[in-house]
Amino acid sequence: VLPSKPLGSGFQINFAKTARQNCLFNRGYEYMNLQNLAPISELYVSYESAQKLKLDAADLTSWDLTPRQICDLELLMNGGFTPLKGFLSEADYLSVLEDMRLADGSLWPMPITLDVPETFAQGLTLGQDIALRDQEGVILATMTVTDNWTPDKAHEAKLVFGADDSTHPAVNYLHQQAGAVYLGGPVIGIQQPVHYDFRGRRDTPNELRAYFRKLGWRKVVAFQTRNPLHRAHQELTFRAAKEAQANLLIHPVVGMTKPGDVDHFTRVRCYEAVLDKYPQSTTAMSLLNLAMRMAGPREAVWHALIRKNHGCTHFIIGRDHAGPGKNAQGEDFYGPYDAQQLFRKYQDEIGIEMVDFKHMVYVQERAQYEPADEVVGDVTVLNISGTELRRRLSEGLEIPEWFSFPEVVDQLRLSKPQRSKQGFTVFFTGLSGSGKSTIANALMVKLMEMGGRPVTLLDGDIVRKNLSSELGFSKEHRDLNIRRIGYVASEITKNGGIAICAPIAPYHTTRRAVREDVEAFGAFIEVHIATSLEECERRDRKGLYKLAREGKIKEFTGISDPYEIPEAPELRLSTENEEVDNCAHQVILKLESLGLIAG
């Protein structure tokens, strides 16, 4: 398979990057045989073949890729996922689950599969070619379907993530968002996904290898991150480069990360703001469009294989690498150094050396960062957790310079102003007739009286009439209706407004999905209106409960369909024997206590 020219019809790629000026790479140029710098295979066809395939693809069945699938496809096509030649076959998938190896024995710890709905999979035959398109319909690749199977997702979750626990974001994705059927087969790349942001910072594996070769970098240590760079990270990377006697590649992930993470636009601005703190002659930065799974130890091995494909010789593995946080029992999913232990087991086979580092803390008396387990003497150890940092940012409090760089803090404050200036969503949920809409209307009026931010009410009945009029009341349609409400609320929140939502929203997983959508941009306050079913039936102003009891309304929440009571809402209210004004005032008090509105 010949390499294509995905960046245009010319043969040269201009890096045009800081410390990379005039660094041109010709694809036909013979590489010197330096370790890790020989070109790796890409899955693109030639430019001429790609143009023909684009025309032929008009007759192919098309699949519009999800954001995660686009990330996976890009790294498949550009060689970042070498040795994979496409999405895993069923045999490869099962072998990866059980042994962290492909069917041919190659080390590979993460299942890379093309998940699709059952209805789409049923229309395919083995050996059929399909077109893989981005969300705007632009063709990126074709794939020959060699495998079509229904996986045991609970089994996958246990083996890959350690537990079938939906508090893990990737397990939740597996069960709630991923398609029911997996397709496998080789991929032929036509063109790279288009990125309009930070284009000068994005490199394929072969582009990075060419850059390292140009500068004569025989040893490169990569630093993986999904967070802004603070002073502890700088100290860690300095120490790692010194220990490995290597140049440093800051290689942050800009694909999908953990819900609630700082968006990659802000993070990259933070990285660029502190690059001058590093020696330019021995430091480079490149962005990796990877969709993380937060799989801890397995992910560490996966990340190392990807960095090897990008030409790196060393890789930093720190405390709780790619950990997702707490499980359903409130315990960490993985031990703090499990990733380092698994890496050591496979290090020789991976072909890249681990530089292991532990948690760094600031020692006040010595005015420096040190590994936490190496601190000696009667000294004052300072540290700020991620939770504490978010609190300080949201409340407009000082971030000390020993913790972070002023330039980083400035960028974080731009994207995350203090809470009293952020948009937010109040999400009422409860049975029909519980009083959601009435309280929501009262709350809207009170917030509009205060002024300062635009307020939008997304009432369940109004949304049904204007946004979801074609939907019925099956679980699938109810979920879709709530997701639409969540999408609109997230857009309002993102743009600094207040969204008040008042649907029934009976299902926990759908409410969680809406929370994750909104919390990417601001606060999400879930308010459970805990009015009893008996009281809701007694009110029954619309006569819906009577019709449901008579069997004339199917799948009615509380009667013939379940309502899953929120386990930990920010606020729980009962409207029985309570004035509407008092209920709305309790919400106001909650918003004040959270710093979202002024007291």
Neighbours of 461 (CB within 10 A): 12
Neighbours of 379 (CB within 10 A): 13
Length of the chain: 599
Q: What's the rounded Cα separation, in Å, for the pair 311 and 38?
A: 8
Q: Looking at the annotation, which residues are catalytic?
A: 225-227
Q: Which DSSP string do the residues of 401-440 spell out, in sequence order?
A: TTTS-HHHHHHHHHHS--GGGS-EEEEEE--TTSSHHHHH
Count CA atoms within 13 Å of residue 468 on its CB side. Answer: 25
Neighbours of 469 (CB within 10 A): 8
For 346, the 3-state DSSP assignment is: helix
- Main-chain dihedrals φ then ψ at residue 491, nearest 5 degrees: -70, -40
> What sign has the CA pseudo-torsion 342, 347, 349, 351?
positive
Please list, in sequence order, all residues whose beta carbon lies within 8 angstroms of the beta carbon of residue 335, skipping any fewer than 6 positions away.
none
Q: What's the rounded Cα separation, in Å, for the pair 394 and 59?
A: 52
CB 230 within 8 A of CB 408: yes
Q: What's the rounded Cα separation, in Å, for the pair 311 and 317?
A: 17
Q: How far is CA 277 from CA 235, 252, 284, in A?
A: 11, 17, 12
CB 111 within 8 A of CB 151: no
